[in-house]
Chains A and B, each alone.
Chain A
Amino acid sequence: MTAEVLLFWVFGTATLIGAFFVISARSPMSAAMALVATFFFLAGVYVLLWAHAIAVLQVLVYAGAIMVLFLFVIMLLSLDEAEISAPTLKVSRLIGGASTLGLLAVLGLAIFRLGLPPPSPQSPAGQASFGSLRALGEIVYTTYLLPFEAVSLLLLVAILGAVVVAKSRI
């Protein structure tokens, strides 16, 4: 068993356990902490996929910025005891579980029948920079310059929209 296989199972299992904690935690605060752990382990999986730049972005943006936003909102609204006594509906849990299992079966069958060839071996000549920030930047700033600028516009609109929606009186 190579290190990659071992790390895949470790990170994959940890990610799944974290995801289960997110949906089973009783208070939003513990769900948020479990989600932070999930994002960190998922970043480890990304590194195994040779996506170093995206892994760093994952930790910076998701585990950093977005989760801090979540924690701020949880503390702002002081929701910690709001949901504890509310039991989830049995019927919705049943329907949700059944449809989730159905989707998982369909996806699993599709993946099983995919029949992909083994991936092209990594880091031969010309592939050494695969997944690095340099390779990502070269594509984003040449071929996908227009979508990149559109994303900057989207983020600007999101900032303005957040202020307008959340402020009680402008």
Chain B
Amino acid sequence: MVSTEHYLFLAALIFCVGMFGVMVRRNALVVFMCIELMLNASNLTFLAFARQRGDSMGHVSAFFVIAVAAAEAAIGLAILIAVYRSRGTLNIQDIRTMKH
């Protein structure tokens, strides 16, 4: 049987890959995809601990995370469309109106 630590470490690796993408990529859409990766890594952690404890609570948490991620994707992509319409770009280095 694969130990829980293996799953936790896999989740940590996926989370770090997603975080690196958020920090490095400049296309807002790809940054969004990296956030989805990080959410999935947290889901994997919930499910690993659910198996560890033999408790369905973790499954409920993962279920709610998926639902919230769906809402977040809908709103976020709508915001991206609005930004692209007004700026003509999705490069996050060119979108700096609220920086100062």
Please list the residues of chain A having a beta carbon within 8 angstroms of any beta carbon in chain B. Answer: 2, 4-5, 8, 12, 15-16, 19-20, 22-23, 25, 28, 31-32, 35, 38-39, 42, 45-46, 48-51, 53-54, 57-58, 61-62, 65-66, 69-70, 73-74, 76-77, 79, 82-83, 86, 88, 92-93, 95-97, 99-101, 103-104, 107-108, 111-112, 114, 116, 118-120, 122, 127, 130-131, 135-136, 139-140, 144, 147, 151, 154-155, 157-159, 161-163, 165-166, 168
Contacts and interface: CB of A to CB of B under 8 A. Distances in A.
Nearest to A147: B64
B22 to A, nearest CB: 8
B24 A62 contact: no
Contacts of B64: 147, 151
Q: Secondary structure of the A side of the interface?
A: helix
Contact of B12 (A111, A151, A159): A111
Contact of B75 (A53, A58, A86, A162): A162
Interface centre among B15, B23, B57 (most CB of A within 10 A): B23
A87 B81 CA distance: 23
Interface residues of B, number: 70
Given A66-B69, A88-B24, A20 B17 contact: yes
Given A19-B37, A65-B70, A154-B71, A53 B17 contact: no
Contact of B51 (A70, A119, A135, A162): A119
Given A51-B59, A54-B63, A166-B82, A86 B47 contact: no
Contacts of A163: 78
Interface in B48-97: 48, 50-54, 56-57, 59-60, 62-64, 66-75, 77-82, 84-85, 89-91
